[in-house]
Structure 1
Amino acid sequence: MPDTERLIYLLSQARQRLATQEEYTELLEMIQADDTGMVNAQIEAFHGPTVPDSNDPAEWQQLVTDILAADKAQHTAPVRRLPWRWVAAASLLLLAGGTWWRLQPATKTPAPVHTQATPDVAPGGNKAVLTLSDGSQITLDSATNGILAQQGSSKVTKLANGQLVYDASGTSQGKILYNTMSTPLGGQYSLILPDGSKVWLNAGSSITYPTAFTGQERKVNVTGEAFFEVAKNATMPFRVMANNTTVEVLGTHFNINAYTDEATINTTLVEGAVRVSAHNRQLVLKPGQQARVGHTDVQVADQVDLSAITAWKEGYFSFTNADLPTVMRELARWYNLEVSYEGKIPDRVFNGEIGRSLTLSQVLKGLSKTRIKYRIEDGHRIVIQP
């Protein structure tokens, strides 16, 4: 039987983000070896009720191993404090007992579990196309490292880590040149703009920008989703245009989600300050606030979960009280899927995290365990059944 005091200590360390790798590994071993239900009871006290355990513990153990391996890839010290996103993700896997989802059904009516052999589709990765000012295109994921193009007086370089960089010394002589970076469904990419600002693009997104910033402003156009770390320059405001929304900053970190299949354009401030303009209104956001621009109005949400908003940039999905269509839209972008529904959409609420490094078959296997029924057509088409 596990040592109750030791278990409570380890859970407390994990919750406070103070656990070392050794302590976290010990916690996983205690959970795996629990045959009395005591560990699960203590976890419920920390996290709330869970779904039934899986009959195949090896299944979730491999996923936990993958999470720890992903964490190791980002650090070199043998003993360290684990980032909370990995603690939360691993806790979720254990709580869900192998499904790597924690499901809170909105209805208590049980539905049969769907099981179907599924083709294995790799997760998305660093993929993008760069369209130069003359219309020529460069496939960035297959391009060799080094200087890719000369745009005016700016050199476009692909670094060894895959990031695209525009040198900050470039100046425009005469005509302003524009480039566009586009990510396909199943792709993501990052670049450093001529002013030193950093941009991360999510799947199915694009950014159009000048190869050198001149004049009185720095302006870019975005579709889809992007995260910005804007270089400070008080004399030249930075503006992001997304459909009917303008976001103005001097130097800040923020996320903008402007997918056309979402109900609103959401701008979430992580650090600094931004001014959001839409529908003849201007709102100044504070860190932790999110502006939601709809078809006719603008609303502001306070104290949003910043880690959930930026989860895609850190390599995982994060859902809080998300309905099934919300979950499937994110999965569709990352795995390049078509999603449709037959009859009434299942009434489910999802909470938890999923690593974006999982294959499609792993994710769908987890989905089936949440009592969601589906049918696969042509490998990339998922039909959700009532």
Structure 2
Amino acid sequence: MISARISYLAARYFDNTCTPAEKLELAAWIGRQTDDAVLEEVLGEAWESHVPLIMMPDEMSDRIVAAMFGRAPEVPVVPVRTRYHKIWWAAASILVLGGIGVWAWQHQPAPAPVAESKQQRYKNEVMPGSNRAMLTLADGSVIALDSAGNGVLGQQGAVKIIKQANGELAYVGNGNGEAMYNTMTTPRGGQYHLTLPDGTQVWLNAASAITYPAAFTGKERKVTVKGEAYFEVAANASMPFRVAAGNTEITVLGTRFNINAYTEEPAIRTTLVDGAVSVAAGKNTTILRPRMQARVGKDEVLHVTENIDTDETIAWKNGFFQFTDADMPTVMRQIEKWYDVKVSYEGAIPERSFGGGMQRSLPLTEVLGILEENGVKFKIEGKNIIVLK
């Protein structure tokens, strides 16, 4: 029984409507046949009805058939030779015109590689960040906080630096002499929780730094931030708390706010969770109320946005990634810092919008797997993440 598919291909071939792929499929089928009757059944009527007689010397058509099938066609009796010869030539012509026939089918270039599976693209695993930071003391000595034991780590004047049982850092004591500045720095893939000398709580995100005195003296409490930090400021009306970050300065009495001052971000963003803060940039100053955000670009122009989702803003501090209509570069910058990886793009940056949340404790393959549900694919090679086109 001849399949409907083969009859369909034969008719299309002789109507000259076959695609190159269909010609190869038909040629491959012809090459597998050993029964002349089968070829006659499929090709006979199509040949007689659709193909005009093309003159070709018998010996040439015989050589074509022999080369293609590895045998010479049987010599029929004279009354039917013309028809059978035409059928063999039809088969041979399909093999030849269809793309060098069986040889092409057996030796055609390898098809385009099938898209790699997720398992093939993810060459290795990358674990999430953890509590890691370096503390630089006033004399320049450095303490690796993640490997240091609990207890007193050092002393700055009359103030003791203590690593608590929960791994957090605290300053205990009163200082009234020369200001001694410390700097806490988190690497990519690190974060840390710090209690400043006045009781202010600071959560430092990955690839960030905060510089502060071991004891606050004078009329203000001033710290400097690079990267991202979340503050819960201890109230002290007689000593305002100030944060300097790039071209922005925030002044508070007692409040909770987040500041994102990464140099690779387009603007420094100060988001108020509770209380009130004053944000100054250049000659511009504004007062923020809860759920307001001030953005200051390189030009020092200050923009204010209301009704900010503060849960999204401080999701990192609570152990989550959270996005609302975030573009690909925004998402991948967070991935880079937390997993300490480098992101590159195989082609143009995909135009995607991401929304939702994920735990920051997930291995990188799981995070990328979730992002891939939005029609983008990734490859992991060591510490390199490639966004595929």
Superposed pair shares fold, TM > 0.5: yes
Could you list the structure 1 runs, at least 4 aligned residues long, displaced by more than 3 angstroms after superposition.
none
- What residue is the counterpart of 2:12 in the other structure? none
1:249 and 2:252 equivalent?
Answer: yes
- What residue is the counterpart of 1:185 in the other structure? 188
Higher Rg: 2
Aligned residue among 319, 322, 335 for 2:326: 322
1:209 and 2:212 equivalent?
Answer: yes
Root mean square deviation of aligned Cα = 1.3
Identity %: 55
**Cα deviation per residue 1:331-356 (whole Å; 9 max; x = unaligned)?**
11100010112321111110100100
2:307 is aligned with what amino acid? Q
**Cα deviation per residue 1:37-72 (whole Å; 9 max; x = unaligned)?**
xxxxxxxxxxxxxxxxxxxxxxxxxxxxxxxxxxxx
- What residue is the counterpart of 1:302 in the other structure? 306
Q: What SS does the aligned partner of 2:234 have?
A: coil
**Cα deviation per residue 1:231-261 (whole Å; 9 max; x = unaligned)?**
1111111000001100000110000000111
1:120 and 2:92 equivalent?
Answer: no
- What residue is the counterpart of 1:290 in the other structure? 293
1:114–1:369 CA contact under 8 A, matched in 2: no
Q: What SS does the aligned partner of 2:197 have?
A: coil
2:337 is aligned with what amino acid? R
**Cα deviation per residue 1:95-123 (whole Å; 9 max; x = unaligned)?**
xxxxxxxxxxxxxxxxx786223311111
Aligned residue among 176, 195, 198 for 1:195: 198
Q: How many residues align?
A: 272
1:371 and 2:375 equivalent?
Answer: yes
1:114–1:373 CA contact under 8 A, matched in 2: no
- What residue is the counterpart of 2:8 in the other structure? none
1:136 and 2:156 equivalent?
Answer: no
1:351 and 2:355 equivalent?
Answer: yes
2:169 is aligned with what amino acid? L
* Alpha-carbon distance in structure 2 between the residues aligned to 1:156 and 1:218: 18
Q: TM-score, normalised by structure 1?
A: 0.69
2:380 is aligned with what amino acid? I
Q: Which runs of 5+ in 2 are unaligned?
A: 1-114
Name whichever of 264-273 and 118-127 sits farther off.
118-127
Give 1:372 shift: 1.2
Q: Which has the higher contact order (CA 8 A, sep 6+)?
A: 1
2:126–2:365 CA contact under 8 A, matched in 1: yes
2:240 is aligned with what amino acid? P
* Alpha-carbon distance in structure 2 between the residues aligned to 1:326 and 1:373: 16
**Cα deviation per residue 1:67-100 (whole Å; 9 max; x = unaligned)?**
xxxxxxxxxxxxxxxxxxxxxxxxxxxxxxxxxx
Distance 1:246 1:114, change over 3 A: farther
1:290–1:304 CA contact under 8 A, matched in 2: yes
Q: What SS does the aligned partner of 2:260 have?
A: strand
Give 1:124 shift: 0.5
Q: What SS does the aligned partner of 2:166 have?
A: coil
2:232 is aligned with what amino acid? E
- What residue is the counterpart of 2:175 in the other structure? 171
1:292–1:299 CA contact under 8 A, matched in 2: yes
Q: TM-score, normalised by structure 2?
A: 0.68
Q: What SS does the aligned partner of 2:338 have?
A: helix
Name whichever of 273-282 and 362-371 sits farther off.
362-371
* Alpha-carbon distance in structure 1 between the residues aligned to 2:317 and 2:380: 28
Q: What SS does the aligned partner of 2:311 have?
A: helix
Q: What SS does the aligned partner of 1:216 have?
A: coil
1:364 is aligned with what amino acid? L
2:200–2:231 CA contact under 8 A, matched in 1: yes
Give 1:385 shift: 2.3
Q: Which runs of 5+ in 1 are unaligned?
A: 1-111
**Cα deviation per residue 1:167-195 (whole Å; 9 max; x = unaligned)?**
1x32132x210000000000100111111
1:383 is aligned with what amino acid? I
- What residue is the counterpart of 2:282 in the other structure? 279
